[in-house]
Amino acid sequence: MVPTVRTERLVLRGWRPEDRAPYAALRADPAVAEYLGGGLDRAASDAAIAAYEGHWAREGFGMWAIEVPGVAPLAGAVGLERVPAALPFAPAVEVAWRLHPQHWGHGYATEAAAAALDYGFGEAGLDEIIAFTTTLNTRSQAVMERIGMVHDPDGDFDHPALPEGSPLRRHVLYRATASARASHRTNSVTP
């Protein structure tokens, strides 16, 4: 069973059948696909949701659907996933997010990713969580920094799933640890 996590403005929840069509639209959106190496068709998007559900069943953590009550029944996805073994820093767990462009610029990605980190370091008992994106995706890098992750320049890498010469191939690596997250949360609280 996927736990529900509530933040100030968001509900991170398990996937529902009615999420499939809007998630497929999100994954096919050119703005979302720009830094992911391409979009997904409906079958691939449905398979991604099935993989998210399987990850929860196996690992006790995974990707949630993001709901913005009163605004959007499905704004995107956020959560924690084990990275593919082909990546140079594997084994590792990453925090990842995808939001529909109409929900960009509201701080939802930061709020949702911070909640995912808290869950990972709390309930899931993880010691380290990473994040990565292409060097061109400065929006996601800004989210990583806002949630207290630290760039690890020695870990930057060429993504093996992307062809030589692709402008998306070079990726940056960010890290967060449970102890640093606790410090970041303490320092982020204002009296």
Which domains, from first to last, does the chain contain? 5-188 (3.40.630.30)
Q: Are 156 and 122 in contact (CB under 8 A)?
A: no
Which residue positions in the chain have pLDDT lower than 70? 182-191
Burial class of 149 by CB neighbour count within 10 A (0 to 12, 13 to 18, 19+): buried
| Cα 13 to the center of its chain, rounded Å | 14
Q: Which amino acid is at 97?
A: W
pLDDT at 179: 87
Q: DSSP letter at 41?
A: -
* Six-digit token string for 51: 């993989």
The pLDDT of residue 189 is 42
Query: Can you spell out the DSSP letters for 2-42?
Result: PPPEE-SS-EEE---GGGHHHHHHHHH-HHHHTTTTS---H
pLDDT of residue 183: 66
